[in-house]
């Protein structure tokens, strides 16, 4: 089984190896056969593909893997764009293949998250890929709140319909001054990068007549270390304070986080309702 990365926009961003696999494999499965047909036609590859998407992948996975083994066939899987399984179908199929001893190979290529990270101007040494946030605002806000003190660059995908709303929630959760980058229509004709803090980016996209068109990658820079430390002290202290005395909670928080007791004590005093 070959997991073949395909272009995220510019059709030139495909490898010779990927084209060879698409032309020579016995079976070709695609998230949307119409999108894949355009890619195949562009490179003069005449063949049919079969649909494999989130609505049928679990039901056909075991039967497909059995067929590969029995008939000694090779197959390729492509998504609409980018690398299969990364916010795209294919995970149940890979699980089934590995459990049955069918070799799985990745044919590397385009990926929107890493492409955006490289041009973002944000730290690239440590990052978290979060994909799409939950569709409901409260759930999205809760997820972002859990990430607010993270000291790694955060990467999200978003649709044009929800990009502005998600950016607003990010600004409200992370604060106006948090550094960020929003990439729109990566590798396409109208590729655009918005860089700055969240407030500046939100204003720039609102002012752009094309600001709600295309696919988006939203990147949020790391939380400052002092903000991350304070949030984590507050979180652990609050959890322990419901179970033990305030003094014990301070002692345990200092030990758990490896922070000086005086620092935790000072934070606890500032957090007191009448402080």
Q: Which two tokens stand for residue 10?
A: 């510019």
What pLDDT, on the 0 to 100 scale, is given for residue 257? 84
What pLDDT, on the 0 to 100 scale, is given for residue 231? 78
pLDDT digits (tens, 9 = 90+) for 106-115: 999 999 999 9
Sheet holding 127-132, edge to edge: 127-132, 153-158, 216-220, 179-184, 192-197
3-state class (DSSP) for residue 43: coil
Reduced 3-state DSSP string for 93-107? HHHHHHHCCCCCEEE
**Lowest mean pLDDT, pick from 32-41, 56-65, 105-114, 256-265:** 256-265
**pLDDT above 90 as % of the chain:** 80
Number of H helices, E strands in the chain: 11, 10
Inform me whether the pLDDT recorded for 274 exceeds 70.
no
Inform me whether the pLDDT recorded for 55 exceeds 70.
yes
What pLDDT, on the 0 to 100 scale, is given for residue 228? 61
Spatial contact of 2 and 105, defined as CB atoms under 8 Å apart: yes
Cα–Cα distance between 206 and 199 in angstroms, integer? 11
Inform me whether the pLDDT recorded for 264 exceeds 90.
no
Taking residues 6-33, what's their average pLDDT?
Answer: 97
Residue 41 main-chain phi, psi, to 5 deg: -60, -40
Please enumerate in sequence order all residues whose Cβ is within 8 A of that of 171, keeping only pairs 6 or more positions apart, or say none: 178, 198, 199, 202
Taking residues 200-215, what's their average pLDDT?
Answer: 93
pLDDT digits (tens, 9 = 90+) for 219-261: 999 988 766 677 788 888 888 988 999 899 999 998 888 888 8
pLDDT level of residue 275 (50, 70, 90 thresholds) = very low
Taking residues 113-121, what's their average pLDDT?
Answer: 98
pLDDT digits (tens, 9 = 90+) for 129-152: 999 999 999 999 999 988 988 899
Q: Which two tokens stand for residue 209?
A: 């007549």
Taking residues 66-81, what's their average pLDDT?
Answer: 96
Sheet holding 2-4, edge to edge: 50-51, 27-30, 75-78, 2-4, 105-107
Q: What is the mean pLDDT of the chain?
A: 93
Cα–Cα distance between 51 and 31 in angstroms, integer? 6
Query: Which carries the bigger pLDDT value, residue 153 or residue 225?
Result: 153
What pLDDT, on the 0 to 100 scale, is given for residue 229? 74
Phi/psi region, residue 115 (left: phi>0; alpha: psi -120 to 50; beta: rest), is: alpha
What pLDDT, on the 0 to 100 scale, is given for residue 226? 65
Q: Which two tokens stand for residue 178?
A: 């948090």
């Amino acid at each position: 089984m070959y997991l073949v990365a395909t272009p995220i926009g510019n059709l030139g961003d495909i490898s010779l190896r990927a084209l060879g696999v698409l032309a020579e494999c016995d079976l070709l499965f695609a998230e949307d056969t119409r999108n894949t047909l355009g890619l195949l036609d562009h490179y003069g590859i005449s063949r049919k593909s079969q649909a494999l998407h989130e609505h049928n992948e679990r039901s056909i996975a075991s039967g497909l893997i059995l067929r590969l083994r029995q008939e000694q066939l090779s197959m390729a899987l492509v998504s609409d764009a980018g690398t299969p399984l990364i916010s795209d179908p294919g995970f149940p199929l890979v699980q089934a293949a590995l459990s049955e001893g069918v070799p799985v190979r990745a044919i590397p290529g385009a990926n929107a998250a890493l492409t955006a990270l490289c041009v973002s101007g944000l730290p690239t040494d440590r990052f978290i890929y979060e994909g799409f946030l939950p569709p409901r605002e409260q759930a999205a806000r809760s997820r972002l709140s859990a990430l607010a003190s993270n000291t790694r660059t955060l990467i999200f995908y978003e649709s044009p319909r929800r990009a502005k709303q998600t950016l607003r929630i990010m600004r409200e959760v992370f604060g106006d001054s948090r550094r960020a980058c929003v990439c729109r229509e990566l590798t396409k004709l109208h590729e655009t990068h918005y860089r700055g803090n969240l407030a500046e980016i939100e204003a720039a996209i609102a002012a752009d007549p094309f600001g709600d068109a295309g696919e988006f990658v939203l990147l949020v820079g790391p939380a400052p270390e002092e903000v991350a430390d304070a949030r984590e002290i507050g979180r652990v202290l609050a959890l322990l304070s419901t179970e033990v005395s305030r003094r014990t909670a301070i002692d345990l928080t200092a030990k758990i986080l490896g922070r000086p007791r005086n620092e935790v004590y000072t934070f606890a005093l500032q957090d007191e309702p009448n402080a």
